[in-house]
Amino acid sequence: MDKKRIIVGISGASGMPLALELLRQLQGRREQIETHLLYTDGAVQTLRKETGQKPEQLEKMADYVHDNHNIGAAPASGSFRTDGMIVVPCSMKTVAGIVSGYSDDLLLRAADVTLKECRRLVLVTRECPLSSIHLRNMYELSRMGAVILPPVLSFYNHPDSLDCCVKHITGKILDLFGLEGEDYHRWEGMDEDFCM
Ligand SMILES: Cc1cc2nc3c(=O)[nH]c(=O)nc-3n(C[C@H](O)[C@H](O)[C@H](O)COP(=O)(O)O)c2cc1C
C-alpha cells in the first residue's frame, strides 16, 4: 500500500502545542504516512515563546523538512503528489498570503499548489477576535475549497485538561484525512433522557 503524503506547514500564530501534537500523532504512523514539514520565521518565535522549544525539536518529528526560503523544494510543484496540506496554526498573515496567491515563501507556495491541484487544504486559523478582513479572507478561502478549522473549544466531550482540548482539535484535523485521532471522542448522539 502506498503511504499517504501530508505537508505540515507551521506559521507564527498562537497554538504551537497543536502543531506538536499533530506531528507526534503523524510520527506514530510512519508506516502509513510520510510527512513534509515547512515552518515560517514567525513560527520559530512563537514556538520559543509558547513552548520554550527550538525548531530542531519540531524537525525531529517529521520525515522531511524543507527550508521555507527554498522556493524550489519539492512541495513547490504540483507534480510532487501529496494527499494534502495542513497549516497549523495558521496566522492571519498566512491566510492573507494564501487567499491572494502571494506565494513568496515555500509554505505559501505549497498551499497555493494544494489549492490549484484541488487537494485537501486544512487551515487551523487562529486569531481572536476576528476582524472583517480575517473573516472575509477565510470565507474566500472556504469558497476556494480550503477547510477552515479554527481551534475552537468543545465542551460536550467534557475536557478536563488543555491536553484534551488539543487532542480534540488534532482528531478533527486527522479526520479530514481519514485518520483516527488519539483520544478523539466522537459525538454519539444525545441520550433520550436529555431531550425535552
Ligand atoms: C507569541 C505570538 C503569538 C502570535 N499569535 C498570533 C495569532 O494567534 N494569530 C495571528 O494571526 N498572528 C499571531 N502572531 C503574529 C504573527 O506571528 C505575525 O503576524 C507573523 O508575521 C506571521 O507570519 P507567518 O504567517 O509568516 O508566520 C503572534 C506573534 C507572536 C510573537
Quickly count: other Cβ atoms within 10 Å of residue 57's Cβ: 13
Query: How many Cα atoms are found within 13 Å in the side-chain-facing hemisphere of 172?
Result: 20
pLDDT of residue 190: 82
Q: How many angstroms separate the CA atoms of 107 and 95, rounded?
A: 11
- Return the ligand 1 atom nearest residue 128 CA: 8
pLDDT of residue 196: 53
- H/E segment holding residue 34: strand 33-39
Using DSSP's 3-state secondary structure scheme, residue 145 falls into: coil
pLDDT of residue 188: 87
Q: How many angstroms separate the CA atoms of 196 and 35, rounded?
A: 47
Domains of the chain: 4-184 (3.40.50.1950)
| C-beta 12 within 6 A of ligand 1 | yes
The candidate with the shortest Cα–Cα distance to 124, out of 60, 172, 78, is 172
Q: Which residues contact 28 (CB under 8 A, 6 or more apart)?
A: 182
Amino acid in position 120: R
Q: Which residues contact 194 (CB under 8 A, 6 or more apart)?
A: none
88 alpha carbon to ligand 1 midpoint, in Å?
12
The candidate with the shortest Cα–Cα distance to 65, out of 30, 106, 24, is 106
pLDDT of residue 193: 67
Angle between helical axes of 92-100 and 106-116 (0-180°, round to 10): 50
The Cα-based distances of 63 to 55, 97, 150 in angstroms read 14, 26, 26
Q: What are phi and psi of 20, to 5 degrees?
A: -65, -40
72 alpha carbon to ligand 1 midpoint, in Å?
25
39 alpha carbon to ligand 1 midpoint, in Å?
12
pLDDT of residue 115: 98
- Return the ligand 1 atom nearest residue 93 CA: 25
For a ligand 1 pocket test, name from 10, 11, 14, 124 the mutation site with the most ligand atoms within 8 angstroms of its C-beta.
14
pLDDT of residue 55: 97
Residue located nearest, by CA, to atom 22 of ligand 1: 12
Q: Mean pLDDT of successive 10-residue segments in the chain (196 residues)? A: 92 98 97 97 98 97 98 98 98 98 97 98 98 98 98 93 97 98 91 63
Residue located nearest, by CA, to atom 12 of ligand 1: 13
The candidate with the shortest Cα–Cα distance to 122, out of 133, 138, 135, 105, is 138
